[in-house]
Structure 1
Amino acid sequence: MPKILGASLEAHRREVRTRVFEVLRAQLYERGFDAITLAGVAAAAGVGRTALYNHFPDKESLLVAFVEHEAAQYVTRLTDAVEAQADPVDQLATFVRLQLRVLAEFHMPPGTALASALAPAAYRRISAHADPITDRLRAILAGGVDLGRWPAEDPDVLIPMITAALGNRTLVDGPPEQLDEIVEAAVRFVLRAVGALA
Structure 2
Amino acid sequence: MPRIEAENLPAHRKQVHERVFRAFAELMAERSYDAITMAHLAERAGLGRTAIYHHFHDKEAVVVAYATHETDRYIDGLRDLLATTDDPTAQLRLYVRNHLDSGERFHMGLGPQLYGVLGASSRAEIRDHVLAVEDVLRGILVAGADRGAFAIDDLPATTSLIHTCLTPRDLPPVAVEEFVLRAVGASTT
Cα contact 2:42–2:52 (8 A) shared by 1: yes
User: Higher helix proportion, which one?
Assistant: 1
Cα distance in structure 1, aligned partners of 2:29 and 2:89:
33
Q: Which residue of 2 aligns with 1:5?
A: 5
Residue in structure 2 matched with residue 155 of structure 1 by the alignment: 155
Supply the RMSD in Å over aligned alpha carbons.
Answer: 1.6
Q: Counterparts in 2 of 1:154-173, with a 5 A limit?
A: 154-166=154-166, 168-171=167-170
1:195 aligns with 2:159: no
After superposition, the C-alpha distances for 1:96-115 in whole angstroms (9 at most, x for unaligned) are 111112212131232x3122
Gap runs ≥5 in structure 1: 172-180
Alpha-carbon displacement from aligned partner over 1:65-95 (angstroms, at most 9, x marks no partner): 1101111111111111112222111100111
Deviations 1:7-43 (A, max 9, x none): 2222221111111111111112222322211101111
Identity score, percent:
37
Contact 2:152–2:158 under 8 Å retained in 1: no
Structure 2 residue aligned with 1:184: 174
Counterpart in the other structure of 2:135: 135
Q: TM-score, normalization: structure 2?
A: 0.91
Partners in 1 of 2:168 and 2:137 — Cα distance?
20
**What residue number does 1:108 align with?**
109
Aligned residues: 187
Given the superposition, is the C-alpha separation of residues 97 and 32 from structure 1 closer, same or farther in structure 2, using an over 3 Å criterion? farther
3-state DSSP class of the match of 1:84? Answer: coil
Mapped to 1, the partners of 2:94 and 2:150 lie a distance apart of: 16
Structure 2 alignment gaps of length 5 or more? none
1:64 is aligned to 64
Query: 1:113-162: per-residue Cα shift (whole Å, max 9, x none)?
Result: 12202001111011101222211111111111122212232111111111
Q: Could you tell me which residue of structure 2 aligns to residue 30 of structure 1?
A: 30
Q: TM-score, normalised by structure 1?
A: 0.88
- SS of residue paired to 1:169: coil
State the AA in 2 paired with 1:115: Y
